[in-house]
Amino acid sequence: MDLRLRDKVALITGAGQGIGRQVAKTLAAEGAHIAVNDYYKERADSVATEINELGQKAKGFQCDITDFEQVNKMVAQITDTFGPVDILVNNAGVPIEIRNGKIARSTFIDSNPNAWAKQINLNLYGCLNCTKAVLDSMVERKSGKIISTISEAGRLGEYSLAAYSGAKAGVLGFSKALAREVGKFRINVNCVAVGAMAHEATKPILDPDDTPETSEILAKIIKSYPIGKGLRRIGRPSDIANAIAFLASDPACFITGQCLSVSGGFSMVS
């Protein structure tokens, strides 16, 4: 299928590693020009170099997306470099915290406002900031795709991840409301819900090369993923990137206000 993404300008936040990196590479392979955003400049530049070496156009853009002024400056720089943003992928989010080889968790009663702020500012306000920064141009051109990666925790709630679940649920509610507002401008707004993922950022816990025989943690997690049992693995960045590429494409023009679970059947919300 021709996704008709050639020469489209795509901004992917948090694209210096993991899911964002794979989304950037997948959209680039479809011919899009890629603005690689990351909080860490060296990571953004590294992914942009990877893409450029494959013969596609990309540039790294360092920006703290929780800062609205920084986001506006970044979008202006992207426009000067490639042209206005056609595709926004709100991917950046607070990664899981690992302490002593284990995922750090805290019940809400044991949490504090500083921890909430970190989750809400990046996961929710980062999405709002980036969306606001590109939206005027999309409305003016009557064209645009906005896709946000959320977690299944935002749909179902996750024990000991209350603030994170709330922030991701906020992105889902925001996306549905925005889809109603901007549909008349031919702008599609959708979410992709992610489950457990194995990539470089989660490698201390979930190594992409692990099998159920080599990892007790992986074997336990797979039991919650119906298709994971058959494939003998959990999610990979390519699973998410392929779904996002489709939602960013012209063939998906009649899909908006939806949340697509790409989590191996972990969630089956109707």
Residue type, 141: R
**Candidates 40, 159, 164, 225; catalytic one:** 164
According to DSSP, the residues that pair with 261 across neighbouring strands are 193
According to DSSP, the residues that pair with 187 across neighbouring strands are 144
Asked whether the beta carbons of 196 and 158 are under 8 A apart, the reply is no
Q: Annotated catalytic, 164?
A: yes
Asked whether the beta carbons of 90 and 130 are under 8 A apart, the reply is yes
Task: Give 266's contacts (C-beta < 8 A, 6+ positions apart).
Answer: 152, 195, 196, 224, 225, 226
Sign, CA torsion 158/159/161/164: positive
Q: In what order do the strands lie in the sheet with 259-262?
A: 58-62, 33-38, 9-12, 87-90, 144-151, 187-194, 259-262
- φ/ψ of residue 157, rounded to 5: 85, 140
**Which amino acids are annotated catalytic?**
164
